[in-house]
Amino acid sequence: MTTLTEVKAWLADQLPALLEKYDVPAAAVAVLHQGEVVDDAAGTLNKATGVDATADSLFQIGSVTKLWTSTLVMQLVDEGLVDLDVPVRTYLPEFRIGDEQAAAVITTRMLLNHTAGFEGDIFTDTGVGDDCIERYLGVLHEVPQLFPPGEQFSYNNAGYCVLGRLVEVLREKTYDACLREHLFAPLGLTHSATGPYDAIMFRTAMGHIEMEPGAGL
């Protein structure tokens, strides 16, 4: 059986080669086995500065944050504060979209499993203040309904913002505060951030775009 020592040696040998092969600036890898963790990192967090990646460097994780939001929602379910199958307006009367009939029947479960049916690619920036998610819900008032709620799957980014607001209302705290209290702290996540102002406190990977030689932005 492969030992963790062998895994660590493999990572140290292969990770730099994999980055070069796939033209990836940096990566951090962790392997958990029977309660023990082996981690390693390779590459450069920022090609402009040459800062090396470390195992505790921060990387943007994009829609993996939906797992954070769904966990916060399911904690509310476990506490008896949310019923997945009643309209989300039961807890969030402010929820409105272009189709009033649909808005009245969309449930928390539909938002979680991407079957709510309204247009979900709404990327309006509502800032970074404590009320940014609340203000985002106002952006949704006119979004169209693509199909009847619950009838099919359509990936919905906006729906998870609605869920984030649901968490805020029921916890009476910001989404960020809920994450820190109900997820980060119990898991011992000391190097986690939800925005650039927090991330700048740590070694954080910058995004890179591959461009043709001589091409400008």
192 within domain boundaries: no
* Run of H or E residues at 187: helix 185-187
Average pLDDT of the residues in 90-97: 97
Q: For the purposes of burial, counting CB atoms within 10 Å of the CB of 8, is it exposed (0-12), middle (13-18) or buried (19 or more)?
A: middle
Residue 121 amino acid letter: D
Residues in a beta bridge with 17: none
Number of domains in the chain: 2
Active site residue 70: no
For 106-151, how does the pLDDT look when each residue is reduced to its tens digit (9 = 90+)?
999 999 999 999 999 999 999 888 999 999 999 999 999 999 999 9
63, 70, 154, 192: the catalytic one is 63
98 within domain boundaries: yes
Name the residue range of residue 72's domain: 63-181
Average pLDDT of the residues in 161-178: 98
Residues 146 and 217 in one domain: no
With cut-offs at 50, 70 and 90, classify the pLDDT of residue 186.
very high
Residues 72 and 165 in one domain: yes
Q: Residue 211 has what pLDDT?
A: 73
Supply the pTM of this predicted model: 0.87
Residues 52 and 84 in one domain: no
DSSP letter at 112? H
187 within domain boundaries: no
For 53-63, how does the pLDDT look when each residue is reduced to its tens digit (9 = 90+)?
999 999 999 99
pLDDT at 213 over 80: no
